[in-house]
Amino acid sequence: MLWWLGRDRPFRSVILMQMLHSTTFISRVGPLFLAASERGLVALEFDARLPGQQTIRPNPRDLRAEIKGVRFEESEAAMQLYVRELDEYFAGNRREFTFALDLRGTEFQRACWRALVAIPYGETRSYADIARAVGKPQAFRAVGMANNRNPVAIVVPCHRVIASDGTLCGYGGGLHIKRKLLELEGALTGTLAA
């Protein structure tokens, strides 16, 4: 959060440190890093990320603005609800998540992410479908970039978005993870199952 100081120093700012609770969850698709604020889940990231993929975690070789002002506190107790629901999802006993999300992005990104959450379990949509759902039918490439910036994998199910020709395409955790998630949900049919 950025706070501007009083009139005596109008151009100086103070960055307040935000504390996020975090934990690592060992799932069927590998380790997942989770971070939450008091408002809800902020991040769910695959431990093994593709080069250049966005992360909330600090990387000594790539300190970017999005992680400045954030401190992590490992807390299994504070993350218990998130871990329990993810465990139920991977066991095939949960189709929807009930916990709050604290999604941080542009208004367009958040609109895309809301459209992703609306995709029912076990179904897929194309990038063009999501573009139409957010009222920007020609913006399928921008939708792809919003998916790429999705900070809460699995829960905001960008794995349910496929190419218009019905094939799997790009996924932050890798196509093998996307395939596993769609198999878990029973969404692999036709071209996708091949």
CATH, residue 157: 1.10.10.10
- The residue from 60, 90, 120 where one domain ends is 90
Report whether pLDDT(13) > 60: no
Q: Is residue 145 part of a domain?
A: yes
Cα–Cα dist 80/144, whole Å: 31
What is the tens place of the pLDDT at every residue in 40-96? Answer: 999 999 876 555 556 665 554 444 444 557 788 899 999 999 999 999 999 999 999
Helix, strand or coil, per DSSP, at residue 19? strand
Q: Is residue 118 part of a domain?
A: yes
The answer to whether 30 and 46 are in contact (CB under 8 A) is: yes
The structural domain count of the chain equals: 2
Range of the domain at 72: 13-90
The lowest-confidence range among 32-41, 65-74, 132-141, 149-158 is 65-74
Whether 142 and 181 map to the same domain: the answer is yes
* Catalytic residue (choose from 42, 115, 158, 181): 158
Structure tokens at 115: 């459209």
Q: What does the pLDDT read at residue 71?
A: 82
Whether 79 and 144 map to the same domain: the answer is no
- State residue 57 phi and psi, 5-degree precision: -75, 145
Strand segments (E) across the chain: 2-4, 13-15, 18-27, 30-36, 41-46, 70-74, 125-126, 161-162
Q: How many CB atoms lie within 10 A of CB 60?
A: 5
Whether 120 and 72 map to the same domain: the answer is no
What is the DSSP code string of 149-192? T-SBTTTS-GGGEE-TTS-----TT-HHHHHHHHHHTT---GGG
Whether 145 and 180 map to the same domain: the answer is yes
Whether 70 and 126 map to the same domain: the answer is no
Cα–Cα dist 72/126, whole Å: 35
Q: Is residue 95 part of a domain?
A: no
Whether 59 and 131 map to the same domain: the answer is no
Whether 121 and 148 map to the same domain: the answer is yes
The yes-or-no answer on residue 169 being catalytic is no
Q: Is residue 5 part of a domain?
A: no
